[in-house]
Amino acid sequence: MTELPFPIIFQNNHFIIINKPAGMPVYSNRHSEQQSVEDYFPLLSKRKEGPWLVHRLDQDTAGCLVIALRKQALINAQACFENKNVTKIYWAIVQGKPNENSGLVKLPLAKVTKNKKWSMQHDPKGQSALTKWKILGTNGIITCLELQLLTGRTHQARAHCALLGNPIIGDRIYNPVSNKNEFLQLFSREINLPLSPPLFAQAEPPAHMLDFLKKCHL
């Protein structure tokens, strides 16, 4: 491997932020030949230790992914996540149009396994999950939502959009009418960590979302 398959959208001596492609896993898997973000770490740093993933993104989700180049930087960034001081903005193309222009999904989630497949479902006894949302554009048939994840639960954006009544296009778990060959129309648009100096990046939408964004008049 001599070339990175993803753009670097922020870099300093302590962090790199990449625009992760949809379909690329973040973690290496010795049982799979598919290349992961971790597999490209030797091209990001020549230091004996690191780099380290600060957080994760689902394999099917594109966008901002923060990588630490120093151990103390990793500790500082993870403290921001633990203390809920991170601003994470996602864009999602969903089916239909919500009845309101903005709102807050406040539904706890729990992992449910059925027929050897798992998903995150609403459960009053589950983990607290909060997602602010607003409409960025729509043609009445599909809508682009901006999602601010106030908590970081697994599949939170995907499960909350489905619970809102507007599942994400291409979501083969939470959208029963999705085509198995469709890309998940979700990406991490922006991330902001209040470090010193502040860590901020904004990713460009992946190519597979551009036509959908045009249809939403964006």
- Count of Cβ atoms closer than 10 Å to residue 44 Cβ: 18
Distance in angstroms (rounded) separating the CA atoms of residues 60 and 180: 12
Residue 120 pLDDT: 97
The Cβ-side half-sphere exposure at 104, using a 13 Å CA radius, reads 7
Q: Is the pLDDT reported for residue 177 higher than 90?
A: no
Three-state secondary structure string covering 35-75: CCCHHHHHHHCCCCCCCEECCCCCCCCEEEEEEECCHHHHH
Find tokens 């198995």 and name the residue.
Answer: 180
Residue 16 pLDDT: 98
Higher pLDDT among residues 217 and 29, named by residue:
217
Q: Is the pLDDT reported for residue 95 higher than 70?
A: yes
Residue 30 pLDDT: 78
Span 141-156, average pLDDT = 96
CA dihedral 13, 74, 92, 158 (to 10 degrees): 160
Q: How confident is the model at residue 100 (pLDDT cuts 50, 70, 90)?
A: very high
Do residues 210 and 108 make contact, with C-beta atoms less than 8 angstroms apart? no
Span 173-192, average pLDDT = 92
Q: Is the pLDDT reported for residue 143 higher than 70?
A: yes
Percent of the chain surpassing pLDDT 70? 100
Tell me the two tokens of residue 77: 């960034």
What DSSP element (H or E) covers 187? strand 186-193
> Quick check: helix, strand or coil at residue 6?
coil
Q: How confident is the model at residue 1 (pLDDT cuts 50, 70, 90)?
A: low
Span 110-132, average pLDDT = 95
Active site residue 123: no
Do residues 215 and 139 make contact, with C-beta atoms less than 8 angstroms apart? yes
pTM of the model: 0.94
Q: State pLDDT tens for residues 10-68.
A: 999 999 999 999 999 999 987 778 899 999 999 999 888 999 999 999 999 999 999 99
Q: What is the DSSP letter of 118?
A: E
Residue 124 pLDDT: 96
Distance in angstroms (rounded) separating the CA atoms of residues 29 and 12: 28
For the chain, what is the mean pLDDT?
95
Residue 181 pLDDT: 80
CA angle 190-192-193, nearest 5°?
155
The number of angstroms, rounded, from the C-alpha of 67 to the middle of its chain's C-alpha atoms is 14
